[in-house]
Amino acid sequence: MRKSSYEGLQEDIRKLKTPKIEVWKNRYPDKKYTINLEIPEFTCICPKTGLPDFATIKIQYIPDRFCIELKSLKYYINFYRNIGIFHEHVINKITEDFVKTCKPRWMRIEGEFNPRGGIKTTVIREYRKKK
């Protein structure tokens, strides 16, 4: 079997230490409402080529006890600017960090990446709190 040139590029990506996302206490945890966030200037680095990737990240969530503090989210998102990470991995990593921090009832993250080599990539992950 031929070894892939991508093999080993993302071995430790799940252990990536990211900045802390802060939260504030939701005063309406008894209400179900949706918060939509859109980050049109997301950038990261292609781990294969070292070239920048650009995307719009859309986050929708139904908060429970906590809401995301936006300044810390901006710092968190900007952290990826110099990180070599595949599109699929970055959306999964953001979802894991978001869920760990704010524990929403439900969330959906969509990464709409600009075309590379004529191919546009959109990665979507949903999370639903277990009852």
Q: Which residues are catalytic?
A: 46, 53
Q: What contacts 50, CB < 8 A, 6 or more positions away?
A: 84
Give the separation between CA 39 and CA 79, rounded to whole angstroms: 13
End-to-end alpha carbon distance in the chain: 44
